[in-house]
Amino acid sequence: MKEVESLWEEVRELSLGNSTQVERLELPPSPVQFLRDFVSPNKPCIISNALLHWPAFALWSCNDYLGRALASTEVSVHLTPNGRADSLAPHPTELSSFCFASAHVQQMPFTDVLHLISNPERNKDLVAYAQQQNDCFHAEYAALASDCEAHIDWATEALGCFPEAVNLWIGNHLSETSFHKDHYENLYAVVSGEKHFLLLPPTDVHRLYIREYPAAKYSYFQDTGEFDLKLEDPIRYVPWCSVNPFPSLRTEGKEMNDFPLYFNGPMPFECTVKTGEILYLPSMWFHYVRQTPGPSGCTIAINYWYDMQFDVKYAYFNFLQSIRLPPRGQGACLTDLSSVAMLKKNEVFKRDPQDSKKLPLCWKWKKKITAIARDPAD
């Protein structure tokens, strides 16, 4: 336990710094600087004045322009009663329990979606968020493609590949994204409004108390304006971060007692990404996101997902995550074999369901991997 806790401090002292602020660059870096100073050490940064040459920087602050450009387009909209999709919610049938709740997703004309997002006060208990991963910018929002760069040139050269996906996000102040991680190098560009991030490095994985929760999904009934949350059938479990970094006054004491490693550990890194800025969010960093709308009533961002390198850092992270922390005063031990992906030669890789992004389909091993769960007293 003590060794894992010291790791959190050591990573900050040796690499990330003891400040909770994210380093800010006034101009885009050269590919060499970006690779050397940020990608290789797996360290976030904010690049100011990065989007000033994009047509979107001037055009997307106007809802009229977006409405005209996408007048005949239907897009995917995620609907929830509280703005928290892919997040923990009270279990629909078991008191004092939680489930992993996904949004109700449907296709709607873009102009209707834009109205819902920019006028939240007219739709009580209905929060709309226009987003759909899997390269939605090139699919649903192709009419806007000429307003942005197809890729970030200095990042593309540094990483040696083009983005695998480019996604568009349009929401308001009611939408939040709970702590999670992605297996991508993420270049997150804010075109209108602001995004507020809490960040934790991969070494802090135990502080987020990742546990398995039954998957559930919201259904929205337009005739009544009500939501219904039901568990998936057959039941499915999703490993998800348990920590809410902004508990209410009513639950604050319980949250701090239940998750002391988060609330008593090092402060998370915190940053606001403003209009015209790009956040480099390194692969496997945990992030919690809130937002402030721009003058149009919307926060609009576009992000570029570049494939990460599944190298020694990825292997180290998997090993660290496999360590189960016992109560204070006892030593750490390896987790149960059932919760670790054990591979044999040419077996398909069974990934953590939380890791919804692409992972290698097949890993070739010379020997079967085995692990021994050691007694904490050893």
| pLDDT-wise least confident of 84-98, 124-138, 152-166, 356-370 | 356-370
Q: Note the helical H segments in the chain.
A: 2-11, 31-34, 55-59, 63-69, 110-118, 136-139, 153-159, 252-258, 260-263, 312-322
pLDDT-derived band at 2 (thresholds 50, 70, 90) equals confident
Instruction: Let me know whether 333 and 236 are in one domain.
Output: no
CATH number for the domain including 298?
Answer: 2.60.120.10
**pLDDT at residue 127 above 80?**
yes
Q: What is the mean pLDDT of residues 34-38?
A: 97
Return the structure tokens found at 134. Answer: 């899997």
Strands 286-292 and 87-90 turn out to be: unpaired
Rounded to the nearest 5 percent, the helix, strand and coil shares of the chain are 25, 30, 45
**Nearest in space to 291 (alpha carbons), one of 194, 169, 186:** 194
Instruction: Let me know whether 298 and 344 are in one domain.
Output: no
Q: Is residue 289 part of a domain?
A: yes
Instruction: Please tell me the predicted confidence (pLDDT) of residue 325.
Output: 75
pLDDT-derived band at 327 (thresholds 50, 70, 90) equals low
Instruction: Please tell me the predicted confidence (pLDDT) of residue 336.
Output: 38
Instruction: Let me know whether 303 and 327 are in one domain.
Output: no
**pLDDT at residue 338 above 80?**
no
Instruction: Let me know whether 369 and 279 are in one domain.
Output: no
Residue in the structure block whose two tokens are 């987020």: 208
Instruction: Let me know whether 233 and 359 are in one domain.
Output: no
pLDDT-derived band at 162 (thresholds 50, 70, 90) equals very high
pLDDT-derived band at 256 (thresholds 50, 70, 90) equals very high
**pLDDT at residue 371 above 60?**
no
Any idea what the Cα angle at residue 54 is, between residues 48 and 59, rounded to 5°? Answer: 110
52: left (phi over 0), alpha (psi -120 to 50) or beta: alpha
Average predicted confidence (pLDDT) for the chain: 87
C-alpha to C-alpha distance for 242 and 260, rounded to whole angstroms: 12
**pLDDT at residue 83 above 80?**
yes
